[in-house]
Chain A
Amino acid sequence: MMNDCSHIVMMLTGFAAGELVDEDAEQVREHVLICPDCREELAVEQQLRATLGGLPVVPCPVRVTRRIQDEIEMGTPLRRRSERNPWVWLPAAVGLAAAAVLLVILLPSTDHSPESVAHSGANDSLVTVADATWTRSEIDTARKQALLSLALAARVIDRTEKSTVNDVFRNRLPATVTESLRRLAATSEGGQG
């Protein structure tokens, strides 16, 4: 590259857009005639401009306009996605509940040796159930699935109204997890006895 190339390349976007004053535009024009590197850089700039400038304008969905106008004209509270598709919470809640139960059961056993886990206190019976019935690779697989479910649920939550999230976390999810743990404990006691 030539000495003034660094100065020229910073002007290429403005040059291709026709934004430069005549004097600067002339300077660029003369330079690219004798500098192959800057000529190529200008070609790249023109490709970028043609490609992004040629992106089609996508019509805004009618429902978006309708919701905006409803909000403005009648003061109707804006509905977000979770309210437009309330059923998306069903798999999300089930996924969260399953993930929470699996994590409660499996996370301690993957972090400690079976011996130490067997004496780790309140979760003994649950961990024993896990260790006795699942191999370590099955536990790891289940743990990955649980984390995936949580990630999925997190994505749904990210798109959802705060009040709905509160309802799920304060009411629905605790009830589901409590019930799942109660059943698991009952099964565990029955199996050991």
Chain B
Amino acid sequence: MDTKIFNQLLETHRDRVYSYALYCLRDPEDAEDVTQEAFLRLWRSGPDTESSRLTAWLQRVVHNLCIDQTRRRKTVRSYFGRPDTDAVDRLTARPGVDNDPEQALQLDHKQRLLLDAMATLPPETRSVMMMHYFQGLTLVSIAELLGKKTSTVKVQVHRARQALRRILVESVAGRTAEKRETG
């Protein structure tokens, strides 16, 4: 791939790719690894085509890497049990370095609740949700990118919304109550 095109893609997409991986995986170091691997794959074997198609190619790679990473983590847990994540954090923490960018973000309560709830969804569904709502891809684009029917993606998103419904309904109710109070 041409270095100039690659650097442009890196510059344009690295923050979104990293954020997407971070929200899908909820682990900054896993997100770093996925981001690195995705761009290196783009460099090594990205198709020789126009920029928009390369963006879709990159998104598909990141989607697959996030799913692989989630499955690897799940396999380890199924064999060895759920690790003491606090101990892992202590073990891997580096003094003086903020090791959790997600914690450093000013996410509101609802966003945190929703991200926590999304962690219970299947990895592919979670990734599709982030592609649509966070990355702004249309349902048709997601279907094309994943080689699926648009109706399949619609059903996937609909089911995820049902799964997340309780949290969302509470927040709709809260907003309505706020309006009443202020009105």
Contacts and interface: CB of A to CB of B under 8 A. Distances in A.
A61 B101 CA distance: 9
Contacts, number: 153
A19 B154 CA distance: 12
A185 interface: no
B148 to A, nearest CB: 15
A51 B111 contact: yes
Contacts of A80: 33
B182 interface: no
A151 B151 CA distance: 41
A113 interface: no
A48 interface: yes
Contact of A72 (B3, B14, B107, B158): B3
Contacts of B165: 44
B157 interface: yes
A44 B161 contact: yes
Interface in A48-107: 48-49, 51-61, 63-65, 67-69, 71-72, 78, 80-81, 85, 88, 91-92
A14 B139 contact: yes
18 contacts: A13-B157, A13-B158, A17-B132, A44-B165, A44-B169, A47-B175, A49-B133, A51-B110, A51-B171, A52-B129, A53-B133, A53-B134, A65-B14, A72-B3, A72-B43, A151-B80, A151-B81, A151-B82
Interface of A: 9-14, 17, 19, 40, 43-45, 47-49, 51-61, 63-65, 67-69, 71-72, 78, 80-81, 85, 88, 91-92, 147-148, 150-152, 154-156, 158-159
Interface of B: 3, 6, 10, 14-19, 22-23, 29-30, 32-33, 35-36, 39-40, 43, 72-73, 76-77, 79-84, 87-88, 91-92, 94, 101-102, 105-107, 110-111, 114, 129-130, 132-134, 136, 138-140, 151, 154-155, 157-158, 161, 164-165, 168-169, 171-172, 175
